[in-house]
Amino acid sequence: MSESSAEAARDAAMTAAASVAEVPGGWRRATGVAGMAIGVLATGAAAGVAIERMTVGRGMRRKARLALDSTGPYGSLRGTPGTAYAEDGTELYYEVDDPDPDPDATPARRRRLFGRKSSAPVTVVFSHGYCLSQDSWHFQRAALRGVVRTVYWDQRSHGRSGRGAAQVERGEPVTIDQLGQDLKAVIEAAAPEGPVVLVGHSMGGMTVMALADRYPELIRERVVGVALVGTSPGRLGEVNFGLPVAGVNAVRRVLPGILKALGQRAELVEKGRRATVDLFAGIIKRYSFAARDVDPAVARFAERMIESTPIDVVAEYYPAFHEHDKTEALAHFTGLPVLVLAGVHDLITPSEHSEVIAGLLPDAELVLVPDAGHLVILEHPEVVTDRLADLLVRVGAVPAGATVGGYGNTSGSAQPG
């Protein structure tokens, strides 16, 4: 991005900040700028991304989105529902997929992937990222369905879970520590006994680290494996999101105030967000994927998840990432089989952060996926599922493993590096 683009980013942020400080009429004038800023924030990026000029008519783009929404199979998998209750009373929604009791009834592809014997009594718990939902694990869920016991849950204020009670009733900030406590509640409700494998993407990985920090005895006594995908142990305040330093610093100075103000005018801001849907889609694609040939249905699926996260939830969570530091908590995973995987071109939680994690856990398997961005679980699901399958074999969750092959490939021929 050029210096002129950085100046544009700064100007856009300053304009939004000035607008939110004006009388209510200023909100209507600022709606377009606010919608742009929200779209960036919802993908965990910074404001002011240069978007290429769109050449397809708005009406055609709208029809294409509707077509993708009606025909896309992604996020359609459902399991046995359940509810866990956080310490503050927040309802946390989860679903369980149980293994097929008859291995011979398992489809041929899964037999090749995991073998024919019954799986061990291991539960794999998946934690999703910021502005996403449990449905973001669609491809991994499809591959593991019927093979091993899995739990997928929605973080507080995301997906089908309830709004954070502490946030709504007492105005308390969301913290990563609180998410770790929520994960503990889900495990107690959905997998009260037996060995557990923890899998987390982005904020979900931070949630796993917070669980280890708060409940090291749980890690020691029950956790048999960990997968940390596209995540960070801390120092997220130093990430530049692919922007020049000057532009990032300008945005950071005004962003907290903008978010707080926008969160207080959620209904009005959501209208602006919808009005800037085309810009929003371009930003999501830039900050979620690296490959040029991502399936449009997958890109639209990611867009739907992100745009379904209310702006006040986006605002509630944002400060937590700057405060997040769970570097020391990684020590609790020492001696466990650990998979650390990231996209080389991840602009949200750069792959260097995954390298730091692997450096602190020398026995961990580090996989850096070329031509992949932040949503590597959707962009290159075949690589993620292959390495996850190998981890499950190592911990004894499944008896035999093999490469997934081309299953779920949505963008190209990337292989783990």
Q: Tens digits of per-residue pLDDT, 216-227? A: 999 999 999 999
Cα–Cα distance measured from residue 202 to residue 210, given in angstroms and rounded to the nearest whole number: 13
The pTM (predicted TM-score) of the whole model is 0.80
Measured at the alpha carbon of residue 271, what is the angle toward residues 267 and 274, in degrees to the nearest 5? Answer: 135
3-state secondary structure of 400: coil
In this predicted model, what pLDDT tens digit does every residue of 270-290 receive, in sequence order?
A: 665 655 555 567 788 889 999
Say which residues have a Cβ less than 8 Å from residue 384's Cβ, sequence separation at least 6.
139, 140, 229, 341, 369, 376, 377
Kindly state the average pLDDT of the residues 355-365.
96
pLDDT band at 105 (very low <50, low <70, confident <90, very high): low
| Segment 38-55 mean pLDDT | 38
322 DSSP assignment: H
Q: Among all chains, which residue has been given the structure tokens 């982005």? A: 202
Q: In the block, which residue shows the tokens 């009373």?
A: 89
